[in-house]
Structure 1
Amino acid sequence: MTVPDTSPAPAPAGPVRDRSPLPDVLRGLALAGILIVNMQDFAGFRVWRQYGLDSAAQVITDVLANGRFISIFAMLFGWGAAGLLARQGAKLFVKRHLVLLLVGSLHFILVWHGDIISNYALLGLTMLLFRNLGAGALVGAATLMGGWWLFTGVLAALTYFNGPAVPRSANLPDIAPGMTYLQIMTARAQEFLGDLIGGSLYNGFWLVALFCLGAAAHRMNLLTRPQEHVPLLRKLAVWGTLIGVILGIWLAYLNMHADYASALLGIPVRMGGGLAGALGYVGLIGLLTVQGRLGWLKHFASSGRVAMSNYLAQSLVMTTVFYPYAGAQWGRWGAASTLALALAFGAVQVWLSGLIVQRYGSGPMERLVRRLVYGPRRENHA
């Protein structure tokens, strides 16, 4: 999971109070949810070895969070990319993605191997191919690409179910007690290029499909004028939530098994259910926005406006807590304790984000990226 700055540059005209709250609330909420899911990777526990309270926490994570919030972020990335292309054109769009690729590369090598900023930046360039498509064509393209990716994932899993039993792999970084920061960083640097290319090829169809759905939402003004799309939001809320919960329960069941076939099938179940659940959340929060009933959810808007800074801070703090060169808690925590830590840290980030936005308007990484893309003269208008 990673998280790039998915927000488009706000228009220079109009005061900040005219900014639509829905995209920022969705982004901030997704940021908190991504941290919950990423805790397994930060802490180094095995999902199929969770028992008692840890098992209950893992089930809650699988049903309500796993795959959902990363899908929201990917769609918001496509939404922001479509807006940037429409306003600024291809040249600045490409420049911004090169800057994001640099930020993501440094994040991967220096801080954490789970970076997705670099993958988003690279694959996001494909949006140049879809820039002239309407909302219907974008949804159609997303359906074809996403459907093919899910189909091949299920097909690959079925071949293992029909073959000899293979033990499940944790798919966690190779971290051993006593490793120094230099050793871990060197290993990440050596694997970065292969991970970037391999991850982009493996996840390419799925991520681009999500980008296209976000671009379709931009064409429809779904997030900026949700009051015009109440029937659609209701359908998303009902059917997305229902399908997402059903597939989330299936994922939780698969994650209790130690065989590789279950892990492999869990990938399309996770992402398919995650997309459905994500659309359900969009529908629910969109309806609350229309009704003026966001309530405490409004606090996530500030976190969403400094999403990149918060995402990088999550990686920095959690690797400091768990990796052997600092807190050395790797492999010592289970799903329940890491869930509690994620919720607590997420709450602190929401609170700090409100202070940062109130005083500075945006976070430090957001300002740096905008300065690199737009230059010092346009930074405050970007």
Structure 2
Amino acid sequence: MTAPPPLPDLPDPADGGGVVPTPAPRGPVRERSPLPDVLRGVALAGILIVNMQDFAGFNEWTQTGLDRAAQVLTDVLANGRFISIFAMLFGWGAAGLIARQGVGTFLLRHAVLLAIGAAHYILVWHGDIISLYALVGVFMLLTARMEARPLLVLAAALGAWWLNLTVQAGLSTLSEPGGRFSNLPELLATYPANVHLRAGEFGGMLVGSALYNGPWLLALFCLGAAAQRSGVLTRPHEHRPLLRRLAVGGLSVGLPLGALLAYLNTRPEYALGLLSIPVRMGGGLASALGYVGVLGLLAASGRLGGWRHFAASGRLAMSNYLAQSVVMTTVFYPYAGAQWGRWGALSALALALAVALLQLPVSRWWLARTGSGPMEWLVRALVYGLHTRERR
């Protein structure tokens, strides 16, 4: 199977990039916009920091001392923040793919992503988001003809509805006794046993998660699609007033909600565990928009500086995301070292930062030699290979 050709103007959203045409004496030269890649690379690092709670096998409300301090820092600055950026970028890329390549390519790509996500869930880790994004993202086809303003209205309506439902669910249980629930996986003694367990639960998990999280995810996808329509990520210099409002308004709301989340995650009560969900996602979105605003302003002024190091990791987004799962489950899961449940939040945070930072030079080295990540190449090869056959 030969490598497929690159997409015109906007690369495959699997790599998180974007290019804008630049006039030159000999014709248009496409220059890659750094902001989407940087945002995706930063988001990958932040997602790993939060996922360490699951990989290492500890519950937030059980942390004490320095571990509690590390957990508070994670909740205030990272929890719910970077997954929101990642989801918005998925919607941004999906909108660009529909506009440039059409429905057929879009559906083929989502079918490939669904298969990759299923394999990730069953063979590696129960926290896969690729399959969920692939399934829920299909509904983006309904927004293909919508402009930025209607997309923002739809995102606000979906987000407000979902947040209201989850807040009401938490408030309705305030008077009920019960301990905090845990989202940690059920781990068996051997790798084959875990694969069998996850294979049996994958379908139900995917449908249930899509039903519960679908409205919120679609709201984030629509925000990303609105950003694609407006060009705010590829032409940030044209949107400085908007980026300033995002930076100031987003962080003004998101940081206090992050502090509230940190408090809720120190409490063992069941109802407070439910209330932490809308606080995590609502505050996470606010801070995510604030982070986008800050990095957007830096990009608009040509001052990204050291943040540019995250661009290579962002271009290899899927490869790096899957590599994180492989590395961390190898380190922590009982069938590969018996470290699960023995680490606290501080040591897990330090390991996450080390791995995330190591991925930056490795990604840069890989791109310099191949030009594409292994999983990004596979997605393109499958999508465009299948599309070529269909046309024949």
Q: Do both proteins adopt the same fold according to a TM-score greater than 0.5, normalized to the shorter chain?
A: yes
Paired amino acid for 1:311: Y
What SS is found at the alignment partner of 1:58? helix
Partner residue, 1:206: 216
Paired amino acid for 1:265: L
**In the alignment, is the contact (CA less than 8 A) between 1:20 and 1:224 conserved in 2?**
yes
Partner residue, 1:180: 190
Give me the whole-angstrom Cα distance separating, in 2, the residues matched to 1:10 and 1:207. Answer: 25
- Assess, with a 3 A threshold, how the Cα gap between structure 1 residues 10 and 368 changes in structure 2: closer, same or farther: farther
Partner residue, 1:168: 180
Task: Please say if 1:357 is aligned against 2:367.
Answer: yes
- Assess, with a 3 A threshold, how the Cα gap between structure 1 residues 377 and 210 changes in structure 2: closer, same or farther: closer
Task: Please say if 1:314 is aligned against 2:324.
Answer: yes
Please identify, of 260-269 and 4-13, the stretch whose mean Cα deviation from structure 2 is larger.
Answer: 4-13
Partner residue, 1:128: 141
Alpha-carbon RMSD: 1.7
Report deviation, 1:236: 0.3
**In the alignment, is the contact (CA less than 8 A) between 1:8 and 1:81 conserved in 2?**
no
TM-score calculated relative to the size of structure 2: 0.92
**In the alignment, is the contact (CA less than 8 A) between 2:17 and 2:33 conserved in 1?**
no
Give me the whole-angstrom Cα distance separating, in 1, the residues matched to 2:194 and 2:269. Answer: 29
TM-score calculated relative to the size of structure 1: 0.94
Which of 284, 288, 291 aligns to 2:294? It is 284
What SS is found at the alignment partner of 1:172? coil
**In the alignment, is the contact (CA less than 8 A) between 1:8 and 1:83 conserved in 2?**
no
Report deviation, 1:375: 2.1
Task: Please say if 1:195 is aligned against 2:205.
Answer: yes
Give me the whole-angstrom Cα distance separating, in 1, the residues matched to 2:335 and 2:42. Answer: 31
Partner residue, 1:70: 83
Q: Equivalent residues in 2 for 1:271-350 (5 A)?
A: 271-350=281-360
Paired amino acid for 1:115: D
Report deviation, 1:242: 1.2
Give me the whole-angstrom Cα distance separating, in 1, the residues matched to 2:17 and 2:136. Answer: 17
Paired amino acid for 1:34: I
Q: Equivalent residues in 2 for 1:111-126 (5 A)?
A: 111-126=124-139
Paired amino acid for 2:74: T
Paired amino acid for 2:14: D
Give me the whole-angstrom Cα distance separating, in 1, the residues matched to 2:375 and 2:19. Answer: 16
Partner residue, 1:140: 153
Paired positions, count = 371
| Seq. identity, % | 63
**In the alignment, is the contact (CA less than 8 A) between 2:88 and 2:221 conserved in 1?**
yes
**In the alignment, is the contact (CA less than 8 A) between 2:17 and 2:32 conserved in 1?**
no
Give me the whole-angstrom Cα distance separating, in 2, the residues matched to 1:375 and 1:124. Answer: 22
Report deviation, 1:377: 11
Which of 68, 77, 98 aligns to 2:111? It is 98
Give me the whole-angstrom Cα distance separating, in 2, the residues matched to 1:107 and 1:78. Answer: 21
Please give the per-residue CA displacement for 1:76-132, whole angstroms capped at 9, x wherever unaligned. Answer: 000000000000010110010000000000000000000000000000000000000
Partner residue, 2:5: none
**In the alignment, is the contact (CA less than 8 A) between 1:36 and 1:65 conserved in 2?**
yes
Gaps of 5+ in 1: none
- Assess, with a 3 A threshold, how the Cα gap between structure 1 residues 376 and 120 changes in structure 2: closer, same or farther: closer
Please give the per-residue CA displacement for 1:28-74, whole angstroms capped at 9, x wherever unaligned. Answer: 00000000000011011010010010000000000000001000010
Partner residue, 2:7: none
Report deviation, 1:5: 2.8
Partner residue, 2:95: 82
What SS is found at the alignment partner of 1:89? helix
What SS is found at the alignment partner of 1:171? coil
Task: Please say if 1:246 is aligned against 2:256.
Answer: yes
Give me the whole-angstrom Cα distance separating, in 1, the residues matched to 2:75 and 2:375. Answer: 30
Partner residue, 1:237: 247
**In the alignment, is the contact (CA less than 8 A) between 1:306 and 1:362 conserved in 2?**
yes
Q: Equivalent residues in 2 for 1:39-78 (5 A)?
A: 39-78=52-91
Report deviation, 1:136: 0.3
